Structure 1
Amino acid sequence: MNSSSRIKKSFGEHVFDSLNVIFMILLCFTTIYPFMYLLSLSLSAGNISLTKIHFIPPELSFDNFKSVLSYSYIKTGFVNSTLRVVLGTSLELFFCLITAYPLTKKNLPFRNFWTGIVVFTMFFGGGLIPNYILMRELHLMNTIWALVLPNLVPAFSMILIRNYISSLPESIEESAKIDGANEFTILFRIIAPMITPILATVALWSIVGHWNAWFDSMLYSTSPENQVLQVVMRNIIQKGDVNLEAGSTTTTLAGSVNPTTIKAATIMITSLPVIAIYPFLQKYFVKGIMVGSLKG
């Protein structure tokens, strides 16, 4: 160990480090606390006292989850949300990639103009009523395409992918062309594997965005069977009791349960899939954001 590594920290540095540790502990606690509280409520029996804070259920019970999962529209909502996430994320990555790649070419005619058109959509939109009329006239109401097509190429995600591709050495493409590779081969077999961090980052945004979205489903899906899980969850939470209405039919959740614990169980059911996916994509997140936003 050299002498430079043995230099003692000053009192001010110790204070600064201590404050950093305390701040991070408080930040972690405020982040984890709501999740732990909801988890405790969701696993508690219906007679739990709501005037106390519980991190461990006083009486462990899975009746809340059974009650929520017994509601038929939870199952259809989960299927619809899963279909939306898979279809929406796959198409978004594909179309963002094939849109971003040509915009990295310096010899593309009017490249700045096309890029400006894309950026323009980040600040100006048609509005809610024109979008609704468009979906109706295209006969996309009550279809999954009404939830997927409007967000097919998010401008911000496409710009990040474009910048990331621009940061790659041009010699890679030149070598591939010498070997006889065409543009599609270069894009999907060479470029795409090299930009995995930004693709994973965009995929994570898309997954979370599609999974949490509910307003467009409420607008474009008039049938309860076509609603996504978040709309079903919203209906459960807004009712304030265990009687859920679907059209003119009233469905009562099974068991004797507390409305608050039912809400907690509903939130946990809708949150767990995204929480389970995030650790697998988190390692790409920082690298993808940094390179995609700063280079190009």
Structure 2
Amino acid sequence: MSYSANFKDRLGRFCIYAIVILLALICLLPLWNIVAISFSSSEAVSANAVGLVPVNFTTAAYTRIIDDAQFWRSFGISVLRVVLSLVLNMILITLMAYPLSKSKREFKGRNIYMNVMIFAMLFSGGMIPSYLLIKNLDMLNTIWALVLPGAVPIFSVILVMNFFSAVPEALEEAAFIDGASPLQVLFKVYVPVSIPALATVALFSIVGTWNDFFSGLIYMTKVSNYPLMTYIQSLNVNIADLLQAGTNSSELSNLTEISNKNLNAAKIVVAVIPLLLIYPLLQKYFVTGIVVGSVKE
């Protein structure tokens, strides 16, 4: 009986590992193929001859992206945007989630605010009213046009609100007895015990802000003000235009090694690298923050 149980446990564990490995390969192989395409020649890519190994290895696509002053300017704009958005998001999310985590008896206007937030999350004014608002506020071609429209992510507020609701009331009562103010209770009691939820919404903020390219297309009329994702999205190789512009023969020779497929693959790789560096730092909090913050007892 014991041997049979152990065999079933080992078989079950083997099946779980096999399924997880299979799913990991399904996710990893397409990305690896994109990396191989980005390092392959345009002829091999056009002939669909690239699998998991680069064909006719070349770094021309990355040279096209990186050897460009505007690339680094756009990179700096994106970094500044992520930092400002993260700071603003975390402050506003925390300050909104704390009072909304209280009962209707403690915060009489709670339901009104919650209904307004849910309505705003489900329905928006649309692209044209948003553009007109930013234009009338004279924020076009400024960093604030990229930061302020997403200053209050309502889903993240609800996630942190539910996490705050799960914090034992005894902790808050003890702090009030010791003479703490509401802000002191928030930042010295609630915030320290809510690191998983806050790290989760911080990850949402970083990933969403970094990957957003559409806002740059709408609110920026000058390429010099593009964030990185918008600038990378706008890159392409047009040999006819380069010939008309009088591009020198050596540069043209290098650019002919690139097709738009190579360049698009390189864009994806460049865009993913910063996220791959940040995600492992916050991943350990991700599951806890999602599970606890999404269910209210």
> Measured at CA, do residues 244 and 143 of structure 1 come closer, stay the same or move farther in structure 2, by a change above 3 Å?
farther
Shift of 1:63: 3.5
Change (3 A) 1:19 1:5: closer
Which range is displaced more, 46-55 or 72-81?
46-55
Distance 1:249 1:230, change over 3 A: farther
Matches within 5 A, 1:219-238: 219-236=218-235
Confirm whether residue 67 of structure 1 aligns to residue 68 of structure 2: no
- The residue number in structure 2 matching 1:264 is 265
Q: Is the 8 A contact 1:92 1:153 kept in 2?
A: yes
Residue pairs, 1:79-158, within 5 angstroms: 79-106=76-103, 107-158=106-157
For residues 166 and 250 of structure 1, the distance between their equivalents in structure 2, rounded to whole angstroms, comes to: 63
**1:33 alignment partner in structure 2:** 29
- String of CA shifts for 1:55-80, please: whole Å, max 9, x gaps: 23345443332221112221121111
Separation of aligned partners in 2, 1:31 and 1:124: 33
Aligned to 1:44: 40
Q: How far apart, in 2, do the equivalents of 1:225 and 1:250 lie?
A: 21
The answer on whether the counterparts of 1:243 and 1:250 sit within 8 Å (CA) in structure 2 is no
* Secondary structure at 2:102 match in 1: coil
How many residue pairs were aligned?
A: 288
Give a deviation string over 1:213-270, Cα, whole Å, max 9, x none. 111111111111111111111111xx3547899xx99997883422232332222111
2: CA distance, partners of 1:253 / 1:272: 28
Q: Check whether the contact 2:203–2:282 (CA below 8 A) recurs between aligned residues.
A: yes
C-alpha change, 1:244 and 1:104, in structure 2 (3 Å) is farther
**Kept in 2: contact 1:77–1:229 (CA 8 A):** yes
Match of 1:78 in 2: 75
264 and 119 in structure 1: CA distance in 2 versus 1, 3 angstrom threshold: same
Q: Which amino acid aligns with 1:269?
A: V
Change beyond 3 A, Cα 1:283–1:254 = farther
Q: 2:289 maps to which residue?
A: 288
- Report how far residue 47 of structure 1 moved: 5.5
1: distance between equivalents of 2:239 and 2:62? 12
Answer with 90-99 or 118-127: which moved more.
118-127
Deviation (angstroms), 1:200? 0.6
Q: Aligned partners of 2:241 and 2:115: how far apart in 1?
A: 48
Q: Alignment partner of 1:255: what SS?
A: helix
Task: Please give the root-mean-square deviation of Cα atoms over the aligned residues, in Å.
Answer: 2.9
Could you say which residue in structure 1 is the equivalent of 2:210? 211
Shift of 1:24: 3.2
Contact 1:70 1:254 in 2 (8 A): no
Q: Distance between the aligned counterparts of 2:295 and 2:252, measured in 1?
A: 51
Q: Could you state the TM-score of these two structures normalised by the residue count of structure 1?
A: 0.87
User: Hey, which bits of structure 1, 4+ residues long, moved more than 6 A?
Assistant: 242-245, 248-254
Q: Structure 1 residues 243 and 281, CA, compared in 2 at 3 Å: closer, same or farther?
A: farther
Percentage of matched positions with identical amino acids? 35
Change (3 A) 1:90 1:243: farther
In the alignment, the residues of structure 1 paired with residue 133 and residue 246 of structure 2 have an alpha-carbon distance, to the nearest angstrom, of 31
One-letter identity of the residue aligned with 2:267? T
- Equivalent-residue separation in structure 1 for 2:167 and 2:114 (angstroms): 19
What TM-score, normalized to structure 2?
Answer: 0.86
Structure number with the higher helix fraction is 2
Give the deviation of 1:45 after TM superposition. Answer: 4.9
8 A Cα contact 1:244 1:250, kept in partner: no
Q: Distance in 2 between matches of 1:111 and 1:192?
A: 21
Q: Output the amino acid matched with 1:289.
A: I
- What's the CA shift for 1:18? 6.4
Give ranges in structure 1 of 5+ residues lacking alignment.
none
Look up the SS of the partner of 2:51 in the other structure. Answer: coil
